[in-house]
């Protein structure tokens, strides 16, 4: 009897301890859910909207009547911002430019913290500034006719596969008669476009299967940080006992495929480097790397870092842009009038005797507006890669401790009725006034803002316009079985939002 009473007392003390811990918070920390054992508030987020973290964060914001939600991922404090003005403030304040040091960044390459996405401080600032400065000369950040021509050539090859038939079994995995496989139909121009930025050359059609393999693995990486991927960040030891279920295997497999893609390219550039003959961006980087080694400075340059720079800049081009185009095509299947309007505009402005170009962008406002609207309507990166507070600071009156994980909920902007009026409707016309595109009306931030602004915004916007305009000039789109599409597919939440792969039927228009 005494033993039973002791057990009850111990259990009571333990329960009281759990309750106290659940509601223990930093002083003046934003309101939010209690901490559950091990995973803190993570499972509470999932319970609000499984596989839809953006909407889950919006619901928490409403539940706690706060623009900022504060919670704990295990022992780590996290805040999620659900307000347009506060999101802009966070993205433009230097003290929020940090990145969390997690397994997502370390597991990519020999447990080193390299690249652009998952680094911060002096290392990140130096590498980002250098790469942006010199990649710009090759069209990454501005218009470049050579890059535009290269992407148009690849798009023409993909269109030719449909019109004149495939050449081998690998091509049939992407194009099968009048059926095309999305999103990977669009892999080649964007991945090859990034290769062109780095080495001013592209891979020919015979090498397209290698590019498609990279595209498949890039999507695998993006999906690796799904609902269970969050558990992997909090309890990284899951990689040893549940490598597949936790997302760790897909994370490493996806990254390794992109790394392997660039290894030979970089090794060849290093082996053939000539100090007196600058060929491309890789040569510029190698030169800087050699200079800093010779000068014995505190260098951030290395062959490993160059490999991860190429990898980081390629991931969005190998997955994100294709997903946006695929979401738009799916939306056209749900709303056929959108396809009809794009066809009418392209036929009227461009015709059928020449290919669309970036010169046509201002003259095709509805086509461009459809791209802007799908990025608002179907948020590609709801929470994105978390920032880190570099010091104790304040935000909207709340205290944000140093090393807090800071996420901006871009979906909260995209679904805000005060900004859009009817955010649940797909309505590209919202960006057009008197027949002209009004960029100032686009309040969404699909590429972020501030110093962490996606460096590939110009590359992505120009490439997506070219791909959409050429694709719609060439084809009409319908479902694979010819039946009307009744609802959109279930989105897959990871680092970005992705669409399950599917086949669509395309009918040549000319």
CB atoms within 10 A of CB 432: 16
Q: What is the pLDDT of residue 103?
A: 87
Closest CA to 368 of 413, 414, 328, 322: 328
Region 343-353 average pLDDT: 96
Distance, CA of 248 to CA of 241 (rounded, Å):
10
> Residue 6 above 70 pLDDT?
no
Q: For 122-137, what is each residue's pLDDT tens digit?
A: 999 999 999 999 998 8
Distance, CA of 480 to CA of 482 (rounded, Å):
6
Q: What is the pLDDT of residue 411?
A: 95
Q: What is the pLDDT of residue 10?
A: 56
Give the mean pLDDT of the chain.
91
Distance, CA of 400 to CA of 70 (rounded, Å):
9
Q: Do 176 and 503 touch, CB atoms closer than 8 A?
A: yes
Q: What is the pLDDT of residue 510?
A: 72
Distance, CA of 424 to CA of 21 (rounded, Å):
39
Q: For 79-102, what is each residue's pLDDT tens digit?
A: 999 999 999 999 999 999 999 998
Q: Which residues 6+ apart lie within 8 Å of 319 measured at CB?
A: 183, 215, 218, 219, 221, 222, 496, 498
> What's the count of helices (H) and strands (E) in the chain, helices before strands?
21, 15
Q: Which residues 6+ apart lie within 8 Å of 68 measured at CB?
A: 30, 61, 79, 80, 81, 82, 83, 86, 395, 396, 398
> Residue 16 above 90 pLDDT?
no
Burial class (CB in 10 A: 0-12, 13-18, 19+), 129: exposed
Q: Do 477 and 329 touch, CB atoms closer than 8 A?
A: yes
Q: What are phi and psi of 483, to 5 degrees?
A: -90, 150
Region 342-367 average pLDDT: 96
Q: What is the pLDDT of residue 416?
A: 96
Distance, CA of 33 to CA of 453 (rounded, Å):
30
Region 448-464 average pLDDT: 93
Q: Which residues 6+ apart lie within 8 Å of 151 measured at CB?
A: 189, 190, 192, 193, 196, 463, 466, 467
Closest CA to 57 of 75, 30, 76: 30
CB atoms within 10 A of CB 507: 11
**Any binding-site annotation on 110?**
no
Domains of the chain, by residue range, sit at 2-508
| Paired residues of 36 in beta bridges | 40
Q: Do 464 and 325 touch, CB atoms closer than 8 A?
A: yes
Q: Do 238 and 107 touch, CB atoms closer than 8 A?
A: no
Ramachandran area for residue 323 (φ above 0: left; ψ -120 to 50: alpha; else beta) = alpha
Angle, helices 303-315/208-224, rounded to nearest 10 degrees: 80
Q: Do 319 and 498 touch, CB atoms closer than 8 A?
A: yes
pLDDT band at 17; cut points 50, 70, 90: very low
Angle, helices 457-474/145-164, rounded to nearest 10 degrees: 30
> Residue 13 above 60 pLDDT?
no
Q: What is the pLDDT of residue 323?
A: 97
Q: What is the pLDDT of residue 442?
A: 96
> Residue 225 above 80 pLDDT?
no
Q: What is the pLDDT of residue 23?
A: 54
Q: Which fold has domain 2-508?
A: Cytochrome p450 (1.10.630)
Region 12-30 average pLDDT: 66
Distance, CA of 317 to CA of 322 (rounded, Å):
8
- CA–CA distance from 377 to each of 199, 426, 486 (Å)? 35, 6, 17
- Per the listing, tokens 């046509």 go with 360
Region 35-54 average pLDDT: 78
Q: For 227-253, what is each residue's pLDDT tens digit?
A: 545 788 888 888 889 888 888 899 899
Q: What is the pLDDT of residue 42?
A: 80
pLDDT band at 19; cut points 50, 70, 90: low
CA atoms within 13 A on the CB side of 337: 4
The pairing of strands 502-508 and 475-479 is antiparallel
Q: What is the pLDDT of residue 228?
A: 47
Q: For 394-445, what is each residue's pLDDT tens digit?
A: 999 999 999 999 999 999 999 999 999 999 999 999 999 999 999 999 999 9
Q: What is the pLDDT of residue 8?
A: 67
Distance, CA of 214 to CA of 221 (rounded, Å):
10
Beta strands in 356-501 (DSSP E): 387-388, 393-395, 398-400, 405-408, 432-433, 436-437, 475-479, 492-493, 497-498
pLDDT band at 174; cut points 50, 70, 90: very high
> What is the 3-state composition of the chain as percent helix, strand, coil, each rounded to the nearest 5?
55, 10, 35
pLDDT band at 105; cut points 50, 70, 90: confident
Q: What is the pLDDT of residue 51?
A: 74
């Amino acid at each position: 009897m005494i033993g039973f009473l002791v057990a009850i007392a111990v259990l009571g003390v333990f329960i009281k301890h759990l309750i106290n811990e659940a509601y223990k918070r930093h002083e003046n920390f934003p309101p939010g859910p209690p901490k559950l054992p091990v995973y803190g508030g993570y499972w509470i987020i999932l319970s609000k909207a499984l596989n839809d973290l953006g909407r889950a964060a919006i619901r928490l914001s409403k539940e706690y009547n706060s623009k900022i939600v504060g919670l704990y991922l295990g022992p780590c404090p996290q805040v999620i911002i659900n307000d347009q003005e506060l999101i802009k403030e966070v993205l433009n304040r230097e003290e929020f430019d940090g990145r969390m040091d997690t397994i997502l960044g370390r597991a990519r390459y020999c447990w080193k913290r390299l690249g652009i996405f998952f680094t911060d401080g002096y290392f990140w600032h130096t590498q980002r500034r250098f790469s942006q400065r010199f990649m710009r000369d090759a069209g990454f950040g501005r218009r470049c006719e050579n890059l535009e021509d290269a992407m148009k050539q690849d798009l023409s090859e993909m269109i030719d596969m449909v019109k004149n038939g495939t050449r081998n079994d690998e091509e049939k995995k992407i194009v099968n008669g009048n059926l095309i496989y999305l999103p990977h139909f669009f892999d080649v121009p964007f991945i090859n476009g990034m290769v062109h930025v780095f080495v001013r050359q592209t891979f020919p059609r015979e090498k397209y299967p290698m590019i498609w393999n990279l595209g498949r693995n890039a999507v695998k990486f993006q999906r690796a940080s799904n609902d269970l991927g969050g558990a992997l960040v909090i309890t990284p030891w899951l990689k040893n006992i549940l490598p597949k279920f936790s997302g760790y295997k897909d994370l490493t497999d996806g990254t390794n495929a992109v790394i392997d893609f660039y290894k030979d390219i970089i090794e060849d550039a290093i082996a053939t480097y000539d100090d007196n003959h600058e060929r491309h961006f890789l040569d510029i980087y190698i030169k800087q790397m050699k200079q800093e080694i010779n000068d014995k400075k505190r260098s951030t340059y290395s062959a490993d870092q160059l490999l991860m720079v190429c990898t980081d800049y390629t991931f969005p081009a190998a997955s994100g842009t294709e997903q946006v185009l695929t979401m738009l095509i799916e939306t056209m299947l749900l709303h056929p009038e959108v396809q009809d309007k794009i066809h009418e505009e392209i036929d009227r402005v461009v015709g059928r005797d020449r290919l669309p170009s970036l010169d046509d962008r201002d003259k095709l406002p509805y086509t461009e507006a459809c791209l802007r609207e799908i990025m608002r309507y179907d948020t590609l990166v709801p929470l994105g890669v978390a920032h880190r507070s570099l010091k104790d600071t304040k935000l909207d009156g709340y205290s944000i401790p140093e090393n807090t994980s800071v996420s901006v909920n871009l979906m909260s902007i995209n679904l805000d009725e005060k900004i859009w009026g009817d955010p649940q409707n797909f309505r590209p016309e919202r960006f057009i006034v008197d027949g002209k595109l009004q960029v100032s009306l686009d309040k969404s931030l699909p590429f972020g803002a501030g110093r962490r602004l996606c460096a590939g915004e110009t590359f992505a916007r120009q490439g997506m316009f070219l791909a959409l305009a050429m694709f719609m000039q060439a084809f009409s789109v319908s479902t694979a079985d010819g039946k009307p599409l009744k609802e959109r597919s279930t989105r897959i939440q990871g680092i970005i939002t992705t669409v399950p792969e599917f086949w669509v039927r395309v009918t040549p228009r000319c």
